[in-house]
Chain A
Amino acid sequence: MNEPLFMVPTGPVGPWDQLTENEKAWIEFIRVISGGRDPKPSPARVRALRELLDAG
């Protein structure tokens, strides 16, 4: 995956406390496994995530 890791800043979006505990767990896990590099959505990543969730 060679796309840029960073994007132009747009500011924090949405209070953290409005997320469910499950949603916080998903985001925190993504932060850990990506080494905190804030991975940018790409078609391949989005497709893989959708396949994972579609599988239930």
Chain B
Amino acid sequence: MTAPHAATPAAKLIADRIRDLSHRKTQAEIAAEAGFANPNMMTFLKTGKNKIPLDRVPSLAKALEVDPAYLMRLALDQAVGTMAAKAITEIFGTPATENERVWLDEIREASQNTDPRLTSRSRTALRGIFGR
């Protein structure tokens, strides 16, 4: 079985979420919830045999319990390649996730709406807060 999308972050995310949800949902149930007629579709997506159909991102995000904006970014990379995805998001803008909206609100409130610049000291501190 060829898997042209095996190394993509989208395939990895799907594999991770199927594993995380396995105590509550089977792969076939996730596929059905996402609207796929083929119960094996989740296997194809997590192994990278198939790429995520862009029109299924909202229902797939709901079935996998991930943020749809985040999944759309990864699906777009997979669908058209990183460079084309970057060009698309430059034109249409990158959707912000709900978590990112919370971070923005925190930044605005804590800075008293002074629109702080991202300094090198801020970058270092953020690495400590969010880095792995």
- Which A residues fall within an 8 A CB radius of B? 6-17, 19-20, 22-23, 25-27, 29-30, 33-36, 38-41, 45-46, 48-50, 52-54
Interface residues of B (CB under 8 A from A): 9, 17, 20, 61-62, 65-70, 72-74, 89, 93-104, 106-108, 110-111, 115-118, 122-123, 125-132
A46 to B99, CA, bound (A): 12
- Is the pair B93, A53 in contact by a Cβ cutoff of 8 Å? no
Q: Across the interface, do B118 and A22 meet the contact criterion of CB distance under 8 Å? A: yes
Check if A38 sits within 8 Å of B99, measured CB to CB: yes
Write out the residue numbers on chain B whose beta carbons fall within 8 Å of the beta carbon of A38.
66-67, 70, 97, 99-100
Chain B, residue nearest A45 (CB): B129
Determine whether the beta carbon of A7 is less than 8 Å from that of B104. Answer: no
Alpha-carbon gap, A23 to B96, bound state (A): 11
A12-B68, A33-B131, A38-B70 are contacts. A23–B111 as well, Cβ < 8 Å?
no
Known: A13-B98, A40-B99. 12 other contacts (CB 8 A): A11-B98, A22-B117, A27-B96, A27-B100, A30-B126, A30-B130, A36-B73, A38-B66, A38-B97, A49-B103, A50-B110, A53-B110
What is the bound-complex CA distance between A3 and B103, given in angstroms? 16
Contacting pair B100 A30 (CB below 8 A): yes
State whether A27 and B104 are in contact (beta carbons under 8 Å apart), knowing that A12-B69, A38-B70 are contacts in the complex.
Answer: yes
